[in-house]
Amino acid sequence: MPTVAITLSSPTDLQNAKYINMLREHGFGIKVIDDERFARGNATEAEEIELLDGVQAVIAAGERYSRSVIEALPELRVVARLGVGFDRVDIPAATSNDLVVTITPNSNHEAVSEHAMSLMLATAKSIHVRDKNVREDRWTSSPSIPLRGQTLGIIGLGRIGRDMAVRAGAFRMNILAVEPMVNVTFNQANNIENVEMDTLLENSDFVSLHCDLSEATEGLIDYAKLQLMKNSAILINTARGGLIVEDDLIKALQTKEILGAGLDVFESEPCRSDHPFYDMENVVLSPHMAGTDHLSLEEMGIEAAQCIIDLYKGNWPGQCVVNGDLKKGWDW
């Protein structure tokens, strides 16, 4: 039977993890890769190849699958990514090497939108600053920024963006969106106005990014776009760090082009020890973990494991497969 590598991106109870037990029950061998550098995509290609040698499938975290890595692993048949991003996999290389790449579209969208809301609230209310002041016996207060009545601009209305819109509606926010594939029924039901990018940036009090990272979207938010935003606006990013030109954001925050930012993702991860964000009180940071709460981790693992099981049995998990062109004629 095939061996499945499990990339650990966070502490996991391996004995009780449902998705690992699922794989074992179907006869798969398990290889645990407990290497934080690998899981975060910071291992060398040679290290990646060595760690993945001899496995036929992998439940993947943040490691990178370049053409060189893929071609050096001819036994590898499935890369089952946790989450919905697949920018760390060379999809054309995977396809040309008969390697199926899957994602877990049904598992972590709520966790990400919850975290995006948390970053929005923490930044608007300056929770981190107020907590620090209280701990240092500085009992000062100043008015915070409300969410009710404010306008949230959502860039990307996929599963995460739609879930974010529903949560924002519960806070009685007005919602603008940029989304090329407009779901008219959803927008009408949630009072969402679909607009052009510049219109959204000019009119939003909060802007939250929920689109894929691709050649078309890399550097989407640069200094020119940041200048369009209100001086009182807050930018939230739980999608991909590459969507923002980081140096431009630093400049915009330092020159008060915008008020603040809540960031879970960065151009390079982990951030360098002297990163300018660390000295900014108008920025709230988290370590690329928006999609990983206890419930979503379990659900992502189960969905990824089911993709591997289905593919081995000859069943095609259509909505989860990224490179669907392989369906015709693909066999394990």
- The verdict on 259 and 315 lying in the same domain is no
A 10 A CB-CB count for 248 gives 18
CATH number at residue 219: 3.40.50.720
Residue 260 lies in a domain: yes
The range of the structural domain enclosing residue 85 comes to 3-107+292-326
- The verdict on 200 and 150 lying in the same domain is yes
| pLDDT at res. 141 | 83
- The verdict on 273 and 321 lying in the same domain is no
Q: The whole model's pTM is what? A: 0.87
Task: Return d(Cα 332, Cα 316) in angstroms, integer.
Answer: 11
Q: Residues 162-203: pLDDT tens digits? A: 999 999 999 999 999 999 999 999 999 999 999 999 999 999
Kind of pairing between the strands at 174-178 and 78-81: unpaired
Q: How far is CA 246 from CA 28, 111, 242, 267, in A?
A: 42, 24, 8, 7
- The verdict on 245 and 117 lying in the same domain is yes
Residue 331 lies in a domain: no
- Please say whether the beta carbons of 85 and 213 come within 8 A: yes
Q: Which residues contact 65 (CB under 8 A, 6 or more apart)?
A: 48, 79, 88, 89, 90, 93, 94
A 10 A CB-CB count for 80 gives 26
Residue 218 lies in a domain: yes
Residue 332 lies in a domain: no
| pLDDT at res. 14 | 59
- Which helix (H) or strand (E) segment holds residue 261: the answer is strand 260-263
| pLDDT at res. 9 | 67
| pLDDT at res. 13 | 57
- Please say whether the beta carbons of 114 and 293 come within 8 A: yes
Cα-flanking dihedrals φ and ψ of residue 60, to 5°?
-100, 145
- The verdict on 71 and 123 lying in the same domain is no
Cα-flanking dihedrals φ and ψ of residue 172, to 5°?
60, 40
Residue 316 lies in a domain: yes
CA dihedral 226, 290, 77, 328 (to 10 degrees): -60
- The verdict on 200 and 216 lying in the same domain is yes
- The verdict on 78 and 39 lying in the same domain is yes
Residue 186 lies in a domain: yes
- The verdict on 162 and 257 lying in the same domain is yes
Low-confidence stretches of the chain (pLDDT beneath 70): 9-16
- The verdict on 308 and 271 lying in the same domain is no
| pLDDT at res. 40 | 87
Task: Return d(Cα 236, Cα 232) in angstroms, integer.
Answer: 13
Classify residue 112 as exposed, middle or buried by CB count within 10 Å of its CB (0-12, 13-18, 19+): buried
Q: Which one of 50, 75, 196, 269 is the catalytic residue?
A: 269
Q: DSSP state, 272?
A: P
| pLDDT at res. 129 | 94
Please spell the DSSP secondary structure of 122-152, one letter per residue: HHHTTHHHHHHHHHTT----------TT-EE
Kind of pairing between the strands at 3-7 and 57-60: parallel
| pLDDT at res. 11 | 56
Is 288 a residue of the active site? yes
Task: Return d(Cα 148, Cα 142) in angstroms, integer.
Answer: 18
- The verdict on 168 and 98 lying in the same domain is no
Task: Return d(Cα 231, Cα 255) in angstroms, integer.
Answer: 10
| pLDDT at res. 255 | 96
- The verdict on 277 and 149 lying in the same domain is yes
Task: Return d(Cα 300, Cα 311) in angstroms, integer.
Answer: 17
- The verdict on 248 and 113 lying in the same domain is yes
Q: Which one of 240, 257, 299, 303 is the catalytic residue?
A: 240
Q: Which one of 246, 288, 299, 303 is the catalytic residue?
A: 288
Domains contained in the chain, number:
2
